[in-house]
Amino acid sequence: MADTTLENLLSEERVFPPSPEFVAAANAGPEIYDESADWEAWWMKQALERITWFEEPTVGLNAENAPFYKWFEDGKLNLSYNCLDRHLDTIGDKVAYHWVGEPGDTRDITYAELHAEVSKFANALKSLGVEKGDRVAVYMGMIPELPITLLACARIGAIHSVVFGGFSSDSLADRIQDGEAKVLVTQDGSWRKGGVFPLKEHADVSVAACPTIEKVVVVERTKNEVSMTDGRDLWWHDLMADQAADCEPEVMDAEDILYILYTSGTTGKPKGIVHTQGGYLAGVMATHDLVFDIKDDDIFWCTADIGWVTGHSYIVYGPLANGVTGVMYEGAPDSPGFDRLWQIVDDYKVTIFYTAPTAIRAFMKWGDEYPAMHDLSSLRLLGTVGEPINPEAWMWYNEHIGYGECPIVDTWWQTETGAIMITPLPGAVATKPGSATFPFPGIGATAVDEDGNDVGVPGGGFLAITRPWPSMLRTIWGDDQRYVDTYWSRFDGKYFPGDGVKRDDEGYFWMLGRVDDIMLIAGHNISTTEVESALVSHPAVAEAAVVGRADPVTGQAIAAFVTVRGGVTGDDALLKELRDHVAETIGPIAKPKSIVFTADLPKTRSGKIMRRLLKDISEQRQLGDVTTLANADIVATIAAESAASADD
The pLDDT score that the predictor gives to residue 393 is 92
Do 137 and 185 contact (CB within 8 A), yes or no?
A: yes
Amino acid at 191: W
Q: Locate all alpha helices (DSSP H) within 52-190, ordered by sequence.
A: 79-83, 88-91, 111-127, 145-156, 169-179
How far apart (Å, rounded) are the C-alpha atoms in residues 501 and 189? 41
Contact call for residues 280 and 317 (beta carbons, < 8 A): yes
The DSSP bridge partners found for residue 161 are: 137, 260
Name the amino acid, one letter, at 161.
Answer: S
When pLDDT is averaged across residues 492-517 and rounded to a whole number, the result is 91
pLDDT bracket for residue 268 (50, 70, 90)? low
Provide the edge-to-edge strand list for the sheet that holds 183-187: 233-235, 215-219, 183-187, 135-138, 159-162, 257-263, 271-276, 475-476
Cα-based distances in Å from 479 to 209, 274, 372: 22, 11, 50
Q: Model confidence at 2, in pLDDT bands (50, 70, 90)?
A: very low
Q: Average pLDDT of 369-386?
A: 97
Give per-residue pLDDT as tens, 227-239. 999 999 999 999 9
pLDDT at 634 (0 to 100):
72
Q: 3-state DSSP call for residue 505?
A: coil
- State the pLDDT confidence band at 326, using cuts at 50, 70 and 90: very high
Position 646 confidence tier, pLDDT thresholds 50, 70, 90: low
The string of pLDDT tens digits covering residues 532-554 is 888 998 999 999 989 888 877 66
Q: Are 605 and 628 in contact, with CB atoms under 8 Å apart? A: yes
Residue pLDDT, tens place only, 412-447: 999 999 999 999 999 999 999 999 999 999 999 999
- CATH 2.30.38.10 occupies which residues in the chain? 1-21+411-467+494-516
CATH code 3.30.300.30 region(s) in the chain: 518-647
Tell me what the mean pLDDT of segment 343-371 comes to.
Answer: 95
In this predicted model, which residue has the larger pLDDT, 591 or 26? 26
Phi/psi at 605 (nearest 5 deg)? -70, -10
pLDDT, greater one: 15 or 167: 15
Please list the residues that pair with 417 across neighbouring strands: none
Counting Cβ atoms within 10 Å, is residue 323 exposed (0-12), middle (13-18) or buried (19+)? middle
Distances (CA, A) of 517 to 489, 547, 558: 20, 7, 11
Query: Which of 89-93, 374-378, 499-503 is the least confident region?
Result: 499-503
Of 3.30.300.30, 2.120.10.10, 2.30.38.10, 3.30.413.10, the CATH number of 1-21+411-467+494-516 is 2.30.38.10
Q: What percent of the chain has pLDDT over 90?
A: 75
Flag the least confident range among 178-182, 403-407, 641-645: 641-645
pLDDT in tens, 582-624: 888 777 778 898 899 988 888 776 677 888 788 888 877 766 5
Beta strands in 422-505 (DSSP E): 445-448, 459-465, 475-476, 499-503
Q: Are 600 and 379 in contact (CB under 8 A)?
A: no
pLDDT of residue 3 exceeding 60 = no
- Please count the residues of the chain: 648
Residue 209 confidence (pLDDT) above 70: yes
559 or 39, greater pLDDT? 39
pTM of the full predicted structure? 0.87
DSSP-assigned beta bridge partners for residue 262? 272
| Contact indicator for 142, 122 with CB cutoff of 8 Å | no
Q: In the structure, what pLDDT confidence band is assigned to residue 648 with cuts at 50, 70 and 90?
A: very low
pLDDT in the model for residue 166: 83
- Is a pLDDT exceeding 80 seen at residue 157? yes
Mean pLDDT of the chain: 92
Q: How confident is the model at residue 265 (pLDDT cuts 50, 70, 90)?
A: low
Cα–chain center distance at 541 = 25
For residue 230, what is the DSSP state?
T
Residue 485 confidence class, pLDDT cut points 50, 70, 90: very high
pLDDT at 1 over 50: no
Structurally, at CATH architecture level, domain 518-647 sits in 2-Layer Sandwich (3.30)
